[in-house]
Structures are given as structure tokens and as C-alpha cells.
Amino acid sequence: MNFFRGITRYSTWIVQPMSAERDRWILWTPVFLGAGISVYFSLTVEPAVWVGMAVLVVSVASAWLSRSLAVLLLISLGVAIAAAGFSAAQLRTYTSDHPVIERETGPLSVSGRIVRVEPFPDGARLTLDRLTIGSLRPDRVPPTVRVRLRGHQPPLVPGNWVRLRAALSPPPPPVFPGGFDLQRQFYFQGIGGVGFSFGAAELVASGGAQLTLGARIERLRLLLSDRIRQRIGGGAGAVAAALLTGMRTQIPEPVLEAFRQAGLAHLLAISGLHIGLVAGFVFLSLRAALSLIPAFALAYPIKKWAAVVAVAAAFGYAVIAGATVPTQRAFLMIALVLLAVVIDRQGISMRMVAWAALIILALRPESLLGASFQMSFAAVVALIAVYEVWTARTRLLSDAATWWRRPVIYFASVVVTTLVASAATAPFVIYHFNRVALFGLAANMIAVPLTAFWIMPVAVLAFVVMPFGFDGPLLDLMGQGVSLVVSAADTVSGWQGSSVGIPAVPFAGVGAMVLGGLWLALWRQRLRWLGLPVVTAGVLFFMVHSSGPDIIVSGDGGLFAVRTADGGYALSTRRRARFAGENWLQRAGLSVEERRTWPRTGYSDDGKLSCDGVGCIYRKEQAQIALVSDPLALLEDCRRVKVIIASVPVSDRRCPSAHMVIDRFDLWRNGAHAVWVTKTDVRIKSVNGERGRRPWVIAPQ
């Protein structure tokens, strides 16, 4: 006990400042919950089912025993919350387990019920459940699959029962060690296979009166999207449909790229801006309308009535928009803010954000790993932290009688909002997408006011009158506003250097910036400034990150990439594994147009790669690495090269002198490989070597 008292005495310099901010402790609950979830997903082996609960019980007991010792109490509570997050992730994984398609198969008969229809410019993609698949046993049939349709198809809507012939395969693994894991995402979504159809789908039944609520909602989304696109037309129509229904698959790729380059991609993801605008417009409009009726305004709480209706409108919009993670977060926050109005409490605050994060992480722990969750919460936390100071300083200015002060403050708020949100989300944008828009402020100064004062208010009115058939003129008016936003995106994206590619950065830099940023945002007093050195350390991690791999080979052995002397990459082919190649270039901060030339025969421009008709030799430092695509090359390479990477099988007897061999079977078992060559050694990482043995990792069959 004396030891514990000594710890408490010497840690007073930490406890006293934190005690002064006792009301902010609750804000760290989702942070510790997320820390436990992060630990769970970072493991390469599945932990025993009792691990999380055991740590939770022990830490709670420790908190009870040390309740009179502040430091140990706080540490025990933090560990307990993290253990709760770890346990929530374990439970979510256990309850999400389902069969998957284990190997490429087909064509075979697939029949099922349409859950979702996603229209693309060149066809539609169906999500099917209630499946019957060829000769697969019922216990091996996944709950849902995604199938891309080809050619002419009959009109299909959610709730229809269809039969088609399709080739199915497992969800694809990452194309790079440590890259985005679609298998993990599909595991938690219940999707056990992907594929494409042969010929037209056969409509078996329409669903009729047996349609589920989800199918009815999806039908409504599809109907609204088609109506909006047909009325407005072109890229503006597709963008307008995305703003109202969340269905972005019909947006032409040039328009999407323009939005990305101009820093306006956030407008296409239904989040706080959209939900807030809908709820705010409904709240203010209804309250203003009721205030015009003295009998209501004087006798009834019209402000609370308007808040309740605004919550209902926000909920309806969130459902129509697809209820994605950013949409859920936005709705939860708006609902909590308006609920505070109903019960006469303070509106938006950091505590509201904490509750929204806590609910989402408890119900969907895997959402922590997604870019949408990370970016949406980063932006909101940073904005609230800044506006806690900003609002107090601008209130006196806005109350002044001078007419020009309010518009000036509004546009200043747009500038501050854009700068703060861009800075807060920049680490995640760089980490996930390897590209930063440099002129996003200019584009947002045009697009955000247009969206706030023109597009979304008109959209709400169009929704209201749509059942009566009077929405046409309003959709036309909305389309004109969207066209201006598209034009702004085209203009800004066309500026020289509108966006810059950034090579992949280590997660340590992101982690340091997140921790330091949270420390700055969640505390209020001088204690918060201790977060600045941590943020600075994260920035330094970004600036001194290690170079990319020297060699990459795809999981099927069909594509090689080598790093050139100028830091670019040369790809062995442009026809095979195009998605993998584009992903590799993106991680290097390069565009597809910046790929280097792969020599068919002879030497590359920098002399590091030499090829003949059956393989290539890559040279760096003192190492020579053979890149083999034909068994004939092994006859020579196995006698003079110590490292061999082959898309064909290699036996030890055929290559006894090689110190390191990656062959077709290694690629088949462990997926794509990346190789780093240094002066002292050759380091290798593989996709499954980084992921380990987890429930969502599909072992090759």
C-alpha cells in the first residue's frame, strides 16, 4: 500500500490538472473503447473467447480495489473500457461468421432474392440472399453474394426472385501487404462471394405482398434515383441522385475524378453536412411557419414540435440515403442535438459526439477501421473543438447591427470549417488514398454555400411534393445548382497541381497525429497543449517515411512491378490485374499515366531491369533478383541468382543454389508479395503473412 501511495504522491502533477477537467473524462470513453477494438484487429491470430472478458473482470476488480487512489483508478477504468471494446469486437466477429465461396467456380445456376440493385453506366450489380447455388450443400451456401450483370437484362428491383448462370469466387484479398482488406469488410457485411453473370437473368417472382421493409426501402431508393437522373440528366443528374439517395454508382468517372481532385468528394458521401442541412431546414421552416399562427406560438412549445419533426425528417433522409456509417453518425448526433432542444438542454457538444461514437463502436466495432468513420469523426471533433472558441468570439460581432457582419461571419465560418476539416482529415486521406487536394478551399467556398442555401433546401421541398407529382420544376432548379457545383469541380480540378500524390505513410504517423489531436481537442485547459509535440511527431513520421518496396508481385503471379531509379514503378503488363497495378501506383503517390516502361527485351532506361523472352533480372545494391514467368528461365537463373520470384512452381531440387524463392505456390498460399532490397538483406512481406489466421482470411483451397 505504501508503494501505491508513493505513486499517487509523485503523480500529483498529472492528477491535479486532469482533476480540474473531470467533466471531460467521459469524452475519453469511446477513445479507450476504440483502442481495445484496434488491439483486437491488429492481432494475427484469433484470441481465445475468454481473453477480453477476463481482462474486463480483472480491471473492474482493480478499479474497485483502487478507488481511493486516483491514478490507479483511472488506469484500471481505461483498461476496463479497452477490454470492453476488445470483447465487443470478439462478439461481433463470432456473430458474423458465415460460409463463403471457397474457390473460383462456374458457370453454375444461382437463384435467390434481390436485396439491392446498384446501377452502373455499363450494367447493374445485384446483391442476392436466400440463395441456392448449383450443387453446393445448404450449409456451405453464403448468406449473400454480389453478382455483376452483363448484356441486356430485364427490369429488376429489390424483392424480385431471380435465376441466372454465374461464375462465383471468394471475395478478393488485399492486393498489397497491409492494404485495404475487402475480405474483412465483406465478412462483417455477410457477403460470401462475388461474381458475374452469363446472359440475362430470369425473373422467377416479383415478391409481391411478401416484400420486406428493407426491400421496399431499396425499391424506393432505386425509384427516386431513376426519377432524379432522368429529370435532370447528365452528370449533374447522377450527382443530384447521389446527394438524395446515396447511390453514387451512376456518376461518370470523369465527374467523380473532378470532385476528388477539387476536394469536393465529401459532398458525395452523405454525412453531417447533408443530414444537418435537411434537419436544420425542416426545423427552421416549421418553426417559422408555426410562429406565424399566434394561437400556436403563444400556447404551445412550437420549438420542441419543430425539433421532433426535424428528427423524423433526418431519420427518413438517413434511411433513403442508405444509412452508411457517416450517415448513422450524423443522424445520431443531429437526433441528440434536437432531443436536447426538446428537454431544454444544450445542443451540439463534444459529449454528443462521444455518445454517437460510443453507440456505433459498440454495435459495429469494425467500422473503426473504415476511412468513412475515421474521417467523419475526425472532422466533427476538430470542428467542435474550434467552434467552442470561435462561437464565443463571433457572437458579439454577429449581434451588432451592421448589416454586413453576418454574411462576412458566415463566409469566414466556411473558410474556417474547410481549413479545420481538411487539416483534421488530411492524415486519413493521405493514409487511405495517397492524394491531397491543394485547392479544396477555393472549391468549397463555392460548393458549400450552393449546397447549403440552394441544393439541399430545394431537395427537401422536392421530396415533400414528390408524392403529388409537383417535384419536376423543383428538381430542375436543384439540377441547376448541382450543375454549378460540377462546373466548379471541373474548373478547380483543371488547375495545374490541383492535387498531389503522396507515397504510402506508416500507420505510426497516423496514430501519433490521432492521439495528439484528440488530446488537443478533448481537453480545455493548459493540459491540452501537451498534444502538440505528439502531433509534431506524427508529422515527422509522415515526412521521413520509408520508401516503397522495390518489387511487387500479384497473388496470381500475373503482374510484376519494379521500382525505378526515379522512384516510379514499371509494370510488366497493362492487360492483367489492372486493379492491382492501379492500387500499387496509387500507394506510391503516382497516377496510371506515370507508370514507367517495362522492357520486353534488353535493359530499362535506368539499367536496373534487364529482360529476355522468358524472364527478367532486377539489380539493386549487390543483389540480383530473378523475375520468372516461364519455366525455361529457371535453367539459367537457378545457377546464378540467389533470390527468385516466379509465377511458376519451383522445386528445391531444380533450384538448390537459391537462398530465397517465392514461387507460384507461395503466391497461391499467401497472396501478393512485396520485396525490399537493402545493402544488407532482402526483406519480404506477403498479404496473408501480414493478416495472419483470422476468421475473415480465406485460406486457399
Last residue of a domain, one of 31, 63, 96: 96
Same domain, 201 and 293: no
246: its cell numbers: 446515396
In a domain, 34, yes or no: yes
Last residue of a domain, one of 468, 500, 532: 500
In a domain, 426, yes or no: yes
Q: What is the pLDDT of residues 229-266, one digit of tens each?
A: 999 988 999 999 998 888 888 899 899 999 988 888 88
- Whole-angstrom distance, CA of residue 290 vs CA of residue 296: 6
pTM (predicted TM-score): 0.88
Nearest CA-CA partner of 165 in 196, 205, 135? 196
Q: Check residue 392 and give its pLDDT.
A: 54
Same domain, 235 and 207: no
Count of positions (residues) in the chain: 701
Any idea what the Cα angle at residue 534 is, between residues 529 and 536, rounded to 5°? 95
- Whole-angstrom distance, CA of residue 345 vs CA of residue 409: 26
Same domain, 180 and 44: no
Q: What is the pLDDT of residues 450-477, one digit of tens each?
A: 888 889 899 999 988 888 888 889 999 9
Same domain, 121 and 143: yes
Domain that holds residue 284: 230-500
Same domain, 448 and 327: yes
511: its cell numbers: 496514430
| β-pair partners for 116 | 127
Same domain, 517 and 592: no
Q: Check residue 2 and give its pLDDT.
A: 55
Sheet holding 623-628, edge to edge: 602-603, 609-611, 615-620, 623-628, 643-646, 660-662
Q: Check residue 676 and give its pLDDT.
A: 92
661: its cell numbers: 524463392
Q: Check residue 695 and give its pLDDT.
A: 94
In a domain, 217, yes or no: no
Any idea what the Cα angle at residue 436 is, between residues 434 and 437, rounded to 5°? 150
In a domain, 699, yes or no: no
Q: Check residue 304 and give its pLDDT.
A: 87
Same domain, 486 and 588: no
In whole angstroms, how far apart are CA 151 and each of 103, 112, 158, 203, 208? 25, 20, 19, 15, 26
- How many Cα neighbours within 13 Å face the side chain of 117? 29
Collect all residues with Cβ–Cβ distance below 8 Å to 30 and sequence separation of at least 6. Answer: 354, 357, 358, 361
In a domain, 75, yes or no: yes
Q: Check residue 430 and give its pLDDT.
A: 86
Q: Check residue 613 and give its pLDDT.
A: 77
Any idea what the Cα angle at residue 365 is, between residues 362 and 366, rounded to 5°? 160
For 372-425, the DSSP string reads HHHHHHHHHHHHHHHHHHHHHHHHHHHHSS-TTHHHHHHHHHHHHHHHHHHHHH
Same domain, 378 and 481: yes
Residue 484 DSSP SS3: helix
- Lookup result for grid cell 414540435: 305
CB of 616 closer than 8 Å to CB of 627: yes
Q: Check residue 652 and give its pLDDT.
A: 62
Nearest CA-CA partner of 650 in 681, 683, 626, 671? 626
Q: Check residue 545 and give its pLDDT.
A: 65
Same domain, 617 and 668: yes
- Whole-angstrom distance, CA of residue 549 vs CA of residue 177: 10
In a domain, 646, yes or no: yes
Backbone angles phi, psi at 447, to 5 degrees: -75, -40
Same domain, 539 and 511: yes
In a domain, 472, yes or no: yes
Q: Check residue 368 and give its pLDDT.
A: 92
Q: Which parts of the chain sit beneath pLDDT 70?
A: 1-16, 209, 272, 346-348, 390-411, 414, 545-546, 652-654
- Whole-angstrom distance, CA of residue 55 vs CA of residue 322: 37
Same domain, 365 and 512: no
CB of 207 closer than 8 Å to CB of 160: yes
How many domains, the chain? 5
- Whole-angstrom distance, CA of residue 75 vs CA of residue 73: 5
Residue 63 DSSP SS3: helix
Sheet holding 560-563, edge to edge: 569-571, 560-563, 551-553, 673-677, 682-686
684: its cell numbers: 519480404
Q: Check residue 87 and give its pLDDT.
A: 95
